[in-house]
Amino acid sequence: MEYETAGDPMTGLKWTHKTTAKIAEELQGAGIEVSPCTVARLLKKMGFSLRLNHKSLARVSQTPPEDRDAQFLHIKELRERYAGGDVPVISVDAKKKETVGLFKNPGVAWSQAPVEVNDHDFPSEATGKAIPYGIYDIHSNLGTIFVGTSIDTPKFAVDSIEAWWVLEGWERYPNAKELVILADGGGSNSSQSRAWKHNLFSQLAARHRITVTVAHYPPGTSKWNPIEHRLFSEVSKNWAGRPLETFETVLNCLRTTTTKTGLKVRAHLVRRQYEKGIKISDKQMDALPITLHDSLPKWNYTIRPD
């Protein structure tokens, strides 16, 4: 079920499109005799939940189902191809921005007395905004989050990935000549962003001499991105009910996020100020050594050092 799992980054609930009967059938094929009812009980213990469809969307999906399903299959094949662990596969995304200050944080936490916070969330009383950009190492079950204090831009996203590579990636994968990135289709790592692709080339491919392969999740399917339910959901649970009073509080909450399955998280504060609207010219894009994949090239591509 590893490739068929999605999750809510805020509540931690997970779900799969496989039925309990299908899961039981696959387990029986592996020599494990189990009934669908037992599978349902085990799924509940693992944090999965039955989910209903809600008729609340007014717009029509921009992503045809056939493209969506084909991309899910492509990402599954990509992950299986690199399942050996010699090539790093990372899942990346920016988490919801958090207001830093003595403000109410949703959720509950055990304490001897309630924590008093401001009765109004006035932005003028905030220390600032915490912008977490996460890198989740799928093979190692390790997360690294760079907390920005400026704005979320493609430059900030690639700076974070490059910093991860310099601080951890190259040491964990000393023989790797390729990096695989799973990302959402929008935001600072948008599949349509020229700056995202150009910075990946200049800061990772060219500077560190590694080939970068990127696969984007289709619009509206970000909760299938592993970082959402393997890292961000655990962070949300860890700081639930705790006012994020200072940036140090944010970092401490991130660094103390762990799970029984071995997840560990590192966190770094980024005080660099970023600019919006940086343009990449047609000439720069034409010179980019990028290869669009035959399968859904709008979401899949490889950038090489030269």
Please write the tens of the pLDDT for every residue from 190-247.
999 999 999 999 999 999 999 999 999 999 899 999 999 999 999 999 999 888 999 9
Note whether 155 and 227 are same-domain residues: yes
**pLDDT value at residue 35:** 86
Q: Domain of 39? A: 1-60
What the block records as the tokens of 266 is 């590192």
**pLDDT value at residue 29:** 80
CATH code for the domain of 121: 3.30.420.10
Residue 57, pLDDT > 70, answer no
Note whether 246 and 286 are same-domain residues: yes
Summary mean pLDDT of the chain: 88
Note whether 89 and 75 are same-domain residues: yes
Note whether 6 and 66 are same-domain residues: no
What the block records as the tokens of 98 is 């958090």
Residue 13, pLDDT > 70, answer no
Note whether 25 and 100 are same-domain residues: no
**pLDDT value at residue 168:** 97
Residues 6+ apart with CB under 8 A from 274: 148, 150, 151, 153, 155, 156
Note whether 84 and 55 are same-domain residues: no
**pLDDT value at residue 204:** 98
If one compares 221 and 18, the residue with the highest pLDDT of the two is 221
Note whether 121 and 23 are same-domain residues: no
251 φ/ψ angles, rounded to the nearest 5 degrees: -65, -40
Note whether 73 and 49 are same-domain residues: no
Note whether 208 and 100 are same-domain residues: yes
Distance CA 190, CA 204 (A): 17
Note whether 71 and 56 are same-domain residues: no
Residues 6+ apart with CB under 8 A from 90: 135, 136, 137, 138, 161, 164, 169, 179, 180, 181, 182
**pLDDT value at residue 47:** 66
* Structural domains of the chain, count: 2
**pLDDT value at residue 58:** 41
DSSP at 125: G
Other Cβ atoms within 10 Å of 247 Cβ, number? 16
Note whether 49 and 90 are same-domain residues: no
**pLDDT value at residue 7:** 62
